Amino acid sequence: MQKNTKPPIRHLLQPLLLAAASALALPALAQHNLTVVNFGGANGAAQKKAYFEAYEKATGGKITQVEYNGEQARIKAMVEAKKVTWDVIEVEGPDISRGCDEGLFERMDWAKLGNKADFVPAAVHECGVGTFVWSTVLAYNGDKLKNAPTGWADFWDVKKYPGKRGLRKGARYNLEFALIADGVKTADVYKVLATKDGADRAFKKLTELKPHIQWWEAGALPPQFLVAGDVAMTSAFSGRIDAAQREGQNLQIAWAGGIYDLDYWVMPKGVVNKEAAMKFIALASSPDAQAEYARTISYGPTNTKAMAKIDAKTQALLPTSPANSKDALRFDVAFWADQGEALEKRFTAWAAQ
């Protein structure tokens, strides 16, 4: 009798079973795919290395990074149209409170993030979690300024330090810097700025410097200004200066009177992949991931347990280090939420004069 050459039925079914299993797995994998929105640049690159790659490795999902410039209107339009395509968004301090009040963000499930006590107090918010501490500082080119400035009084001293000054176009930060340059102690800045006389004093001080100001809006510009010699000093995001240093530029920071703030992770109201978004935020809030982020860019972690995982050399570059933060000013979100609109209108009129 001739041997049966037909393969067993299980061999015939195996490819079909594998195909069915793959088809079933695809929706599960898709559920892990996320669109994460941030400000790009050196910060975006650091997030990719510390957070995105770790998430993709842990879940098998894919992260699509979208860059924006903090436009809350884009989030609002998406939420109101009920066409939410973003899953996790990085927002600045003033925007999380405003967006939370307007119902643009989901409430944060802190039970999935860990112990609130492990985070710096400012990182704990009902609509988000602080992801890093950043600072706006006085920066200069060490190759061009041999006599290093020590603070904002030197920034305003165009006789001792001739040349243009770079400032971010807007009232925020600049009014605080003006008062510090005029002799107000950092601890008293918002107390003074809250008064009519204090606001007048800040604008008067800004007017002294106005002929020498070169405005910037994008965070990439201050290091470029310094390298090109367009300005003698500039306000800058500390992480941008750190990135330039890593590229071999001799840019330096005078930390005294720097203003620090937090950026936050939020989820837009109506987010489709809420469970996966929470997994990403939890990973990005862990000590290991935040320590890796701080090693990649000099922004301070919000999870206090991350500091033990960061070497002393790296800690010395962070806005949160004792030396760098001893005379720093915490950006007052509540003050700017209350008075910001009026001050920004006044600034716009002043800048146009």
pLDDT, tens digit, for every residue of 137-158?
Answer: 999 999 999 899 999 999 999 9
Judge whether residue 1 has pLDDT over 60. no
**pLDDT band of 197, cuts 50, 70, 90:** very high
Give me the residue label for tokens 């918010």.
125
pLDDT, tens digit, for every residue of 110-123?
Answer: 999 989 999 999 99
Judge whether residue 329 has pLDDT over 80. yes
What pLDDT, on a 0 to 100 scale, did the predictor assign at position 132? 96
The tokens for 16 are: 């079909």
Specify whether the CB–CB gap between 146 and 284 falls below 8 A: no
Mean pLDDT of the chain: 91
Class of the domain covering 30-133+262-321: alpha beta
Sketch the domain layout of the chain as residue ranges.
30-133+262-321, 135-260+327-352
Judge whether residue 7 has pLDDT over 70. no
The structure's pTM equals 0.78
pLDDT, tens digit, for every residue of 263-311?
Answer: 999 999 999 999 999 999 999 999 999 999 999 998 999 999 999 999 9
pLDDT, tens digit, for every residue of 240-266?
Answer: 999 899 899 999 999 999 999 999 999
What pLDDT, on a 0 to 100 scale, did the predictor assign at position 13? 47
Average pLDDT over residues 86-94: 94
**pLDDT band of 30, cuts 50, 70, 90:** low
**pLDDT band of 338, cuts 50, 70, 90:** confident
- In CATH terms, the fold of domain 135-260+327-352 is D-Maltodextrin-Binding Protein; domain 2 (3.40.190)
What pLDDT, on a 0 to 100 scale, did the predictor assign at position 94? 83
3-state per-residue secondary structure call for 195-250? CHHHHHHHHHHHHHHHHHEEEECCCCHHHHHHHHCCCCEEEEEHHHHHHHHHCCCC
Does 30-133+262-321 match 135-260+327-352 in CATH topology? yes
What pLDDT, on a 0 to 100 scale, did the predictor assign at position 14? 54
Lowest-confidence pick of 12-16, 187-191, 252-256: 12-16
What pLDDT, on a 0 to 100 scale, did the predictor assign at position 239? 87
Judge whether residue 206 has pLDDT over 80. yes
Q: Exposed, middle or buried: residue 3 (CB in 10 Å: 0-12, 13-18, 19+)?
A: exposed
Judge whether residue 58 has pLDDT over 90. yes
